[in-house]
Amino acid sequence: MGKEQEKARDGQLVLRGQQGDRQALGELVDHYHGAVFRLAFRMLGSREDAADVTQSTFLSAFENLQSYRPEYKFFSWIYRIGVNEALDFRRRRQGTEYLDESLPDQSAGPELVARHGELRKEIQAALMQLNDDQRAVIVLRHFSECSYGEIGEILALPEKTVKSRLFEARRQLKGSLQGEV
């Protein structure tokens, strides 16, 4: 399904949701919970926290469903809420060490699993060393595969700022991942 079709579909689901159709909201959950969860995981580094944030993201979205404007893409809107929820969550947890809870790929051999496990930890640790603004653009660009325009819409930033923030974030990430890059 193309992006325009997704936008039309989501617009219809939101409209039905605004009229009290719970099934339509359920369909939005089906379509986007995975993406929001993965976004939250990369922002927070913990599956449990990401699950909490995913729930609060949808709850916040449904509570504010009337504020959704159809000219925006629903995914941009829900991502925006997701990023905000994740950042709020992280601020509340400031000082808490991150735990990498991603699961190793058991189909590989033990050494490879261990190496991949280390790499994953290093990557997540490097992400967590970025400041919140930088991490958000990296996560949205690399893990959510958003364009600069979409990132700008999600974070309410001009594209120029997205570009320069991404540039700084990558520079920082390169420093943190020195052994890998």
Round to whole Å and give the CA distance between 55 and 68. Answer: 18
Binding positions for another protein, 87-106, rule CB under 8 A: 87-88, 91-92, 101-105
Pick one of 5, 67, 106, 107: the residue that binds another protein (CB under 8 A).
67
Task: Indicate if the alpha-carbon torsion angle 38, 43, 48, 52 is positive or negative.
Answer: negative
Residue 119, both tokens: 């790499």
75 binds another protein (CB under 8 A): no
Buried (b) or exposed (e) across 98-131, using 16+ Cβ within 10 A? bebebeeeeeeeeeeeeeeeeeeebbbebbbebe
81 binds another protein (CB under 8 A): yes
Binding positions for another protein, 4-63, rule CB under 8 A: 17-20, 22, 25-26, 29-30, 33-34, 37-38, 41-42, 47, 50-51, 54-56, 58-63
In which residue are the tokens 């504010």 written? 64
Pick one of 11, 98, 120, 161: the residue that binds another protein (CB under 8 A).
120
* CB-nearer residue toward another protein: 7 or 173: 173
Binding positions for another protein, 132-161, rule CB under 8 A: 138, 141-143, 147-148, 155-156
